[in-house]
Amino acid sequence: MKRIALITGGSRGIGLGIAKCLAKQNFDLAINGMRKEEDTLSSLEELKALGAEVLYCRGDVGSAEERQGIMDKIKSHYGRLNVLVNNAGVAPKERKDILEATEESFDYVLKTNLNSAYFLSQLAANWMIEQKGKTDDFAGSIINVSSISATVASVNRGEYCVAKAGMSMATQLFAVRLGEFNIPVYEVRPGVIATDMTSGVKEKYDKLIGEGLMVQPRWGLPEDVGLAVTALAIGDFPYSTGQVIMVDGGLTLPRL
């Protein structure tokens, strides 16, 4: 029986890169996104061509009601869930210095980037515990896609940094709580990845990469993150719950 993975924000960018890698490793997929299904068809067909069955679960993961709807749809269609990948995220609508940033922007980013992952993990964890009680060989895991912004301060998008730092602690909390059930929880921390979200700062980072920002002098790709997530999802790190996997080309390595 094929394993089932839910990837939030899985129809584009890093999420799609993750979904492709999981499809290649014989996972069937539940893909969450905010766009209408017809606007994601090219991505969904690409995943199906890799051999995956794909269920599209449209919904705002920042909404408790819609989170529950996503899980209910997966239960109805697949009847099981092995891997939750909390990847959905937004940037501030306007980058503003923390001395000027608004509470509205803070709430918007935290609701989508942190609240969603925390409470979707709660839903998934309880279902995984239930599945484990019914099936001896059930294997489940939760993988949080955060960012180097969990520890690297950017004062013009403080709300994003706070959300990712919170996700890092949420990873540790769920790892501790789910240890007794042998359900590992991991954090994957990408650096500068070429996606729609970073397209507006391409010129800035092209220059910085050329000046030695990373040890490996190139942009990260969604598939770089996907390969790391997949190694965790298939169980290659069974004794490493709560750990952080850096996917940043050496950007955060201390150097002289």
**Active-site positions?**
160
C-alpha to C-alpha distance for 222 and 19, rounded to whole angstroms? 10
C-alpha to C-alpha distance for 157 and 109, rounded to whole angstroms? 10
DSSP state of 115: I
> b vs e for 160-175, b when ≥16 Cβ sit within 10 Å of the residue's Cβ?
bbbbbbbbbebbeebb
- DSSP string covering 66-89: HHHHHHHHHHHHTS---EEEE---
- Report the chain's C-alpha Rg in angstroms: 18
Question: Helices 103-110 and 158-178 sit at what angle, rounded to 10 degrees?
Answer: 30
Beta carbons within 8 Å of 15's beta carbon, 6+ residues apart: 7, 8, 9, 31, 33, 85, 87, 88, 145, 222
